[in-house]
A and B are shown apart, each in its own frame.
Chain A
Amino acid sequence: MSPNGGTFTQAQRAEHEMLKELVWLSPIGALTLAAAGAVLLAIVLPHRRQALVAWWVGAMHLAAAGLAAYVWLDRGFRLTMSGTIAVDGLSLVFTALVGVVGAVCVALLRPAVAGTDREGELYAMLAFASLAAVVLGAAADAALLALALAALGLATFVMTGYRRASPTAGEASIKYYIFGTVSGAAMVYGLSWWFGLGGSTSFAVIGRALPHAPAVAVIASTTLVLVGLGYKAALVPFHFWTPDAYDGAPLPVAAYLSVVPKLAGLIALARVMMLALPHNTVGWPTAIAVIAAATMTLGNLAAVAQRNVVRLLAYSSIAQSGYLLMGVAALGHSHLGLAALVYYALAYAATNLAAFAVVQAVQRERGSADLDAFRGLGRSHPWWTAALVLSFLSLLGLPPLSGFFGKLEVFKAAIGAGQAWLAVIAILNTVVSLYPYLRVIAPAILDPPDPASLPARRSAPLSLALVVATTATVGFGLLAEPLVNLADHARMLTGG
């Protein structure tokens, strides 16, 4: 692939090609700039000016999203960097999503960490994480995949342990780190098998070799690769870190973790499976479907017992991974699977951010995210309560909210792919999930407010983020057409 050993003109041509490709890589460039600039700014700026770092990182995230849209509309899709980075519909949609979600999370972070030491570095870490996530979602090469996964792990590990004084944060980040390193190592080991079987790190080349390789070797190595990506996406049985990490991390970091690394893992999984294991080699769709069923079932059942809303949302996000995975499981059968995965990802991002933003607002004012903190919220904060009800009902999948159309799409994909049993399990899960979601909503509306009234604590960035996420939760459903259409066109490049 690389032009080593070629003549001078060959090298010149390759350089020229790479320069031309920079346009396609501009969203990644923007995020790189965001991260590097943030590190510099955090060092240079005085303590009380660290908000500028937040502005910088947020603006560059939005710029990355804008550039992704530009590339899609103006340049089209392309395999870049000698076929290692796929700039296609799937990765561009994900880049835009990371851009917007990153900016929203910065807005959520600012009120949570303003004035703490090393505030600027946290924003820088978030930018690094976004960069790694975007690369992970676009990686068409095993080496790049391993690199992105490790970088994403490091950045999010630092973010999780931000509150150094808190013992739960320490436990959370250590747990997250150890799980992450071990599963990442397992994945690299699995990828090395693939390299041995295919003779290349390119997934497209590997995909031509694996269908003819010994099944045992393929199954064993694929399992190892699944460990690494399944950990990122919080799939059962690699989900143990999730509730502790979400609980120990600053709440906006948990919101970020529940969306960006999770979706990056799922999108990388979709790409790896489609490229490296074409034609449903070794029956991977069934294996993924079984994991999907286990993930949603365990997530929802565990959510039932939670009394802390952050932990409840952690288990809920595990369950949502299961629904998302239904799209991956249907990939091999028809185009419906990918469209369902992309639309569900967008709907889930909006909905989950809205839910986390409400919980953060409540926690800021009442000092707790326990179920009791939500009692009587409807009287004191009708708009927060509206956002709470809308986002939780969207997580449940009630129409006409975006979560419903997400479920409609994944159910359709599953039944269309001959996995009606999975759709039935998903439906049983939806019934189970009514309890945890309603357990938060019902006391907020039906209970009388707490007599010890607290002074309202408002924060402009938090309110803005809440409005944006809630509007998207409703708007993606009522006005679903542009998004559904986008998801329908978010194809994956499979050529070598």
Chain B
Amino acid sequence: MSSDNLAHHQSTINHVLNTDTFSCVWCGLTVSAQAPDGTRRNHCPSCLHSKHVMDQIEGGPSACGSKMSPIAIAVLRTGDWMIIHRCVRCDELTSNPVSTDDNQLILMRMAVRPLAQPPFPLEAFGTL
């Protein structure tokens, strides 16, 4: 096999077979690092937990490396959902786009969570 043939062969393999995986720090599930749309995953699709590897405030890699739990759903102007993660060790917040195979039960649970315990009586809105 000539050298350019070999290079072509290698690139085809890399394109088709991306077997990069990571195991979730929360639930231990082994997930592929590639989301269905081809982008790189940054949270587990089953329990939506992430790992603190990027420093959001100053940029670059973070020295924390702890677990990040999902706390909220943010909606962009385009209508896309973002998951807000919070580091359990250093309280830093990050936002990541949702993937198409994320657990919709947990996503919906987070989205309706504020409405379960409103801090004011909702009856006041009936008089507006």
Does B bind A? no
Query: Which residues of B pack against A, CB within 8 Å?
Result: none
